[in-house]
Amino acid sequence: MDSRSDEAISLLEDALAAAGAQTARPSAADSAADLLLVLGESRIPVQMKRWSTFPDHALLADPAFRQPPDPSAVRLVVADRIGERARQGLAQAGWGWLDLRGSLHVQGPGVLIHSDVPASWERPTPRDPLSTPSGLAIACALLAAPREAHTVRGLARRVGRAASTVSEVLHALRGAGLVEGPSSAPASELFWQVADVWPNERVRLKSRPGEGMGPVTEALQLGFGDIGGSPGWALTDTLAAAVYGAPVAARADVPADYFVPSEAALRRARTLLGVAASPGEARATVRVGPVPDVCAHRVDPASWSSEHRPLAAPIYVALDLAQDVGRGREILADWDPPQGWTRVW
């Protein structure tokens, strides 16, 4: 057994002890078990997988999570960090988890343990680099241009942050295994970690915005007629994905989902277009772009589509689709963005 696995087993033993459970180390006859959970006279094998940061897309990528539950064993993931959606997916697949930030969930034959446990300080991890607006903006800039050789100063100019802030965030991302190499290329897990924290709360509107609305157009900061010159509204989610050629069917009456460039634009949209009382009444939804780049670098689809509204870049549309753990993730699995954009999910 390597030292990393042995360390994880020790951490799991400590967490189970803190939750009031007894354990034992397996004998040679229990070669398939990493640990034994002791329940009276019963010895339940525990099979463990160790991750640094556990991304929820691993539930689709790793065949171990698609295997039927073992009625005689407990299976769980030990990771420095496990997001909420990943936890839900693990539970649905019949797996438990130990999130070393302080959460234990064990499920199996005749056993269910769900408990807060002491965080593991034996193996400190960097401050969560995606927990701040700066960290999210920098991560999105990396994902939007994954093949560029990113420099600290170049990223600082792109996201409008101090070089010292960018350097600190990159250091934390590298420590978490989310960027690689001297060019800070995004690792495959970065997209899914950003998806875990991507804001998705929307305001439902009674009316859709459109050009030709006179002073209302200017007040709303639509920017439909000046896509490259100034920030403005950006179409996203299902309708935008359909324009980009993703395998999604979009009904004509589906609400149009937009990012808007500012809180002021959001307030004016509520006032001028009205707030829908129910989902069935909604003609559009709006929310402020989680990072400024969403509304500052919009895409004009006129060269390949009859769609006249500016689109959010494919990376931001993909992050929206990823919020739907079922159908949205299936669409992402079969979608390669148009030429000029790199798939990072």
Same domain for 183 and 260?
Answer: no
CA distances from 210 to 54, 193, 251, 310 (A): 42, 34, 19, 12
> Which tokens belong to 313?
């870049």
Residue 211: its pLDDT value, please? 57
Tell me if the pTM is above 0.85. Answer: no
> Which tokens belong to 197?
């924290």
In terms of Cα–Cα distance, which of 311, 308, 317 is closest to 335?
A: 317
Residues in the chain: 345
Last residue of a domain, one of 180, 197, 214: 197
Same domain for 218 and 329?
Answer: yes
Same domain for 142 and 249?
Answer: no
DSSP letters, 166-196, are HHHHHHHHHHTTSEETTTTEEPHHHHHHHHH
Last residue of a domain, one of 165, 197, 229: 197
Same domain for 104 and 40?
Answer: yes
In terms of Cα–Cα distance, which of 108, 83, 104, 84 is closest to 95?
A: 108
In terms of Cα–Cα distance, which of 48, 64, 53 is closest to 7?
A: 48
CA distances from 61 to 56, 192, 253 (A): 9, 13, 34
Q: 3-class SS at 236?
A: strand
| Residue 172's CATH number | 1.10.10
| Residue 71's CATH number | 3.40.1350
Same domain for 212 and 192?
Answer: no
Identify whether 128 is part of a domain.
no
- Residue 66 is given by DSSP the state G
* Spatial distance between the Cα atoms of 103 and 82, rounded to a whole number of angstroms: 9
Same domain for 47 and 109?
Answer: yes
Hey, CA dihedral for 158, 153, 126, 133, is it positive or negative?
Answer: negative
Identify whether 339 is part of a domain.
no
* Spatial distance between the Cα atoms of 36 and 151, rounded to a whole number of angstroms: 49
Same domain for 328 and 214?
Answer: yes
Identify whether 30 is part of a domain.
yes
Identify whether 193 is part of a domain.
yes
With b for 16 or more beta-carbon neighbours within 10 A and e for fewer, the 278-298 pattern comes to eeeebbbbbbbbbbbbbbebb
* Spatial distance between the Cα atoms of 47 and 213, rounded to a whole number of angstroms: 62
Last residue of a domain, one of 162, 177, 197: 197
Q: 3-class SS at 110?
A: coil
Same domain for 324 and 216?
Answer: yes
Same domain for 49 and 66?
Answer: yes
Same domain for 184 and 221?
Answer: no
Q: 3-class SS at 333?
A: helix
* Spatial distance between the Cα atoms of 83 and 99, rounded to a whole number of angstroms: 9
Q: What is the pLDDT along the chain (345 residues), one digit of tens a residue?
A: 444 567 888 889 999 999 999 999 888 777 778 999 998 888 999 999 988 788 777 887 778 888 887 788 999 999 988 888 889 889 989 999 999 889 999 998 889 999 999 987 544 444 578 989 999 999 999 999 999 999 999 999 999 999 989 999 998 998 888 898 888 999 878 999 999 899 999 999 999 987 556 677 788 989 998 898 889 999 999 999 999 999 998 887 899 999 999 999 999 999 999 999 999 999 999 999 999 999 999 999 999 999 999 999 999 999 999 999 888 989 999 999 998 899 999
Structural domain span for residue 100: 3-116
Alpha carbon 271 to chain centroid distance? 31
Domain count, the chain: 3
Same domain for 280 and 236?
Answer: yes
